[in-house]
Amino acid sequence: MTLGAEVHADTAPPADPVALAVSWLPADDDPDRPQVTLSTQGLDGWPNARTVLLSAVDRTGFAFHTSASSAKAHELAAVPRAAMTVVFAPAFSRQLVVRGDVVRCSPGELAAAYTARSPYLRRLAWLNDDALAALPRAERVARWAAGEPAAGAPEGWTGWRLVPRELTFWVSDADTASRRLQYRRTAEGWRVRPLAG
């Protein structure tokens, strides 16, 4: 079945939305793991959003990593809920939106995620901070070139897992209106309903 066809199919929708999401996404070790829009509530009460790398996805949720000093880390510590939006290139004909609670990744998960990152991303974890950003470009380039990422993650590197309570799958359709399938977790399991696109 073509990815996304299950959203328009006349048959019963898949019972497990997390498994459906996993089938839409590349494997965790795929270099094309998508960048996603992570939405949080800012400390000032206003919505906030930014692009992050989706590090891993499994039955327990959607994991991403950041500096503990970042705005998103402070926002998630204050209000541990978030939304994540994935738009699938190149056709942009599919979208996945996940909403739920966030929990911190364990030390073991952090170590595994750091080890799996590319040399560029490991260097980013060690060097990317406001002090570097304030330097002239030539100094930033020199410091970046001189930096060698350590074998382990820096102390301030952290990870979060978005535990879904709602997943919405959107697919375009050239022959009719687009359609969404929205899954919401209930005490009895997942409730699914079709929605206008």
Q: Using an 8 Å Cβ cutoff, are 66 and 73 in contact?
A: yes
60 neighbors 80 (Cβ within 8 angstroms): no
Residue 128 located in a structural domain? no
Rounded Cα–Cα distance for residues 69 and 10 (Å): 48
Name the nearest CA neighbour of 158 among 117, 107, 98: 107
Q: Is 22 domain-assigned?
A: yes
In a domain, 148, yes or no: no
Instruction: Report d(CA 51, CA 60) in Å as an integer.
Output: 21
Strands 157-171 and 189-196: unpaired
Q: Is residue 131 part of a domain?
A: no
Q: Let me know if residue 134 belongs to a domain.
A: no
Give the CATH number, domain containing residue 39: 2.30.110.10
Residue ranges making up the domain that contains 51:
5-116+156-196
Question: Is the pTM of the predicted complex or chain greater than 0.85?
Answer: yes
Residue 71, in any domain of the structure: yes
CB hemisphere CA count around 32 (13 angstroms): 6
192 located within any domain: yes
Give the separation between CA 35 and CA 89, rounded to whole angstroms: 11
Residue 164 gets which letter from DSSP? E
Overall number of domains in the chain: 1
**What is the full per-residue pLDDT of the chain (197 aa) written as tens digits?**
456 676 767 778 889 999 999 999 988 888 777 889 999 999 999 999 999 999 999 999 999 999 999 999 999 999 999 999 999 877 788 999 999 999 999 999 999 999 988 888 889 888 888 899 999 999 999 989 988 777 788 888 999 999 999 999 999 988 889 999 999 999 999 999 999 98
Instruction: Classify residue 39: in a domain, yes or no.
Output: yes
